[in-house]
Structure 1
Amino acid sequence: MTLSTRQHIKHASLVITGLMFCVLQTNALQAAESHYPVQIQSCDRTVIFNQAPKAAIPNDSNLTEMMLALRLQDHMVGFTGVSGWKTLDAELRKDIGELPELSPKYPTKEVLLGANADFYFAGWNYGMRVGGGVTPDTLAPLGIKVYELTESCIHIMDKPKVSMNDMYNDLLNLGRIFNVEERANNLVNDYKRELDAFQENLAPLAQPVSVFVYDSGEEQPFTAGRHAMPTALIEAAGGKNIVDDVRKSWIQIGWESVIDRAPEVILIVNYGEVTAQQKIDFLRNNTAFSDIPAVKNNRFVVLEYVEATPGPRNIEAIKRLAKAFRAE
């Protein structure tokens, strides 16, 4: 074979490889385009996406972790609402890479516009307030689509009691919005299998352990009601929230209710300037609480904020609660 012939063959091979690459790229592009438009149910709204968002901003650590769990960093321009209340822990910092925190607390419209955002993943009291300046209605004219955290929908509409399906629903909807459905389905199925396998091997309890969720507050405790994520975590671990009958999400109640309902375990949510240990010390050192079984028997379990709110760390949180509920 002459040198000239070999060169012709090599050239032809490169041409064929290039054509195959172009065909694959075209097929991938056509597949992505055929996925849209998609209709997504977000609380009481139907939101239509004609393409995957390119400049997404999630608010709060747990919502940010949902997007990171789906490996959506390339679609994000930053995040908001973490350092104003809690630290950016090592796991989140590692996965977030160079993406900036655009606002330490709830962002303004100007912050979102300044980042050229086209998508805001937030929730009611997770980056938006009813009647506030940043809502789906106020952002729509600016070309910013909003997807609302399912757990938070109770603030604007009736919905079933909170469950793990709320978190799964958000991951699956994000998968559809960003055209990573297979990735989202696999992740949710993995979570379900892991939780099912764990629960199958759990030692049964004679009856559900009664649990009080202590988020914050000394004059009046801020706690989780029937529609807040800790209720679902507690039930999955074999317990029962003592304010399960309160048809609210996160809410302030009176200490009298806590004392009267005599929780066997107190779940401390750790975040902010007041540490989990300081919250435990407050409960231990107040004589009014000395007869509460959880205080008397020193049965406290601590969850980080990002574990107690909907997100990828919920399964590990359930495992830790289950262990605490079965501890002597």
Structure 2
Amino acid sequence: MRLLFALPALLLATPALAEPFPVTVRSCDRDVTFEAAPQRAVSNDVNLTEMMLALGLTDHMVGVTGISGWNKIEQALAAGIELPELAPQYPSREVLLGADADFYFAGWNYGMRVGGDVTPETLGQFGIAVYELTESCIHIMDKPKASLEDLDVDLRNLSKIFGVPERGEALVEGYEAELAAFEAGREAVGEPVRAFVYDSGEDRVFTAGRYGMPTALIEAAGGVNIADDVAANWVEIGWEAVIERAPEVIVIVNYGNVTAEQKRDFMMTNPAFADIPAVRNDRFVTLEYVEATPGPRNIAAIKRLAEAFAAR
């Protein structure tokens, strides 16, 4: 299949300036050096792909992976730029070698698994360089809790890898200015709103911990993630902890075969959740997967969360 993505007009109009090579960037706990810009890049997952497209790197890409198999694609992405989807879920080494890829942008549990067949080490043997999503580095090393700086680091590093550092700077500065203007224009927030991220699950629940991007988004919007003390980016926990911590707002991540409305109905009709303030007051807010994970839509997600938190 082929997937269609929108490329921001700002980047289409931005001329590329030559960046001297070699260039070295930090990828999790590795220094990675590039003698030239990759020419046959592959990105995994919709949010990582949107970073590549926001930087105007389509001409350097041969395809994407890991989107349709998880039901993460949105119609709003459809525009005019076509890229083949090489694998609907995580790609194998054979898929990447078959595409003659020279670069793979992925993350731990975003296209790679610790100890799996597709890692920086296994791909490096075949001349495929890997850059790892900063948020995901917690799977292999210690790092600070999630922040918007994780996104900034990735945009700057990717733009350096492809010899267009000015594009990364322009995007980061634009996002920072947009967020600053939003914060200056909104009313002061009182006590942080207790928020719970409902990704998926019924017997147990998959949620975002202190190293997941939703924690940073919630805090920027004037809230606190009730799973802030859980040392993981995305993790499965028991419902007992959710009930005990009494979230005031539930943030539903919309993707997969179970819709956001079905997730809300599950919580609203389950007697075990009846005393949770968010359920009792029917306070839910939905983020698309591509908004809740690191990527160009994070600022829009903060604005939506802030609006939901303000509706006390």
Give the TM-score of the pair, scaled to structure 1.
0.89
For residue 285 of structure 1, what is the amino acid of its counterpart? T
State the match for 2:190 in structure 1: 206
Question: Is 1:52–2:56 an aligned residue pair?
Answer: no
Match of 1:65 among 39, 42, 50: 50
Of residues 199, 211, 221, the one that matches 1:237 is: 221
What is the identity percentage for the equivalent residue pairs of Structure 1 and Structure 2?
65
Per-residue CA deviation, residues 39-77 of structure 1 (Å, 9 max, x unaligned), is: 110000000000000000000000000000001000000
1:192 aligns with 2:182: no
Per-residue deviation at 1:307?
Answer: 0.2
Structure 1 unaligned blocks of 5 or more: 1-27
CA contact (8 A) 1:57 1:77 kept: yes
CA distance in 2, matches of 1:129, 1:94: 31
* Bigger shift: residues 149-158 or 198-207: 198-207
| 1-structure distance, mates of 2:41, 2:119 | 15
Query: Once the 2 structures are TM-superposed, how far is the Cα of residue 90 of structure 1 from its aligned partner?
Result: 2.7
- Offset at 1:98? 2.2
- Distance in 2 of aligned mates of 1:173 and 1:105: 25
Deviates more, 1:180-189 or 1:52-61: 180-189
Given that residues 46 and 72 in structure 2 are in contact (C-alpha distance below 8 angstroms), is that contact kept between their aligned partners in structure 1? Answer: no
Q: How does 1:209-224 map to 2 (within 5 A)?
A: 209-224=193-208
Task: Determine helix, strand or coil for the equivalent of 2:62.
Answer: coil
Letter in structure 2 aligned against 1:102: L
Looking at both structures, which has the greater relative contact order when contacts are Cα pairs under 8 Å and sequence separation is at least 6? 2
Q: CA deviation at 1:187?
A: 0.9
Matches of 2:42 and 2:194 in 1, distance apart? 38
Report the counterpart of residue 321 of structure 1 in structure 2: 305
Q: Of Structure 1 and Structure 2, which has the larger fraction of its residues in helix?
A: 1
Q: Distance in 1 between matches of 2:273 and 2:280?
A: 8
Partner-residue secondary structure (3-state), 1:68:
helix
Q: How far did 1:145 drift?
A: 0.1
Q: SS at the partner of 1:84?
A: helix
Within 1, Cα distance between the matches of 2:27 and 2:296? 20
The CA RMSD over aligned residues, in Å, is 1.3
Matches within 5 A, 1:1-328: 32=18, 35-94=20-79, 97-328=81-312
Structure 2 unaligned runs (5+)? 1-14
**Secondary structure of the equivalent of 1:205?**
coil
Determine the C-alpha separation between the residues in 1 that align with 2:139 and 2:62: 28
Aligned residues: 298
Runs of 4 or more above 6 Å deviation:
none
Provide the TM-score with structure 2 as the length reference.
Answer: 0.93
Larger radius of gyration: 1
1:262 and 1:292 in contact (8 A); partners too: yes
CA contact (8 A) 2:63 2:86 kept: yes
Q: In the alignment, residue 252 of structure 1 is paired with which amino acid?
A: E
Question: Structure 2: how far apart are the matches of 1:156 and 1:240?
Answer: 26
Q: Secondary structure at the match of 1:99?
A: strand
2:72–2:289: 8 Å Cα contact kept in structure 1?
A: no
Report the AA paired with residue 269 of structure 2: N
What is the CA distance between 1:206 and its match in structure 2? 1.9
Using the alignment, how far apart are the partners of 2:246 and 2:74 within structure 1? 33
Aligned-pair distance for 1:283?
Answer: 0.1
Aligned residue identity for 1:37: P
Task: Say which structure is richer in strand.
Answer: 2
CA contact 1:161–1:227 (8 Å) conserved in 2: yes
1:184 positional shift: 1.0
Question: What CA distance in whole angstroms lies between the structure 1 residues aligned with 2:309 and 2:176?
Answer: 21
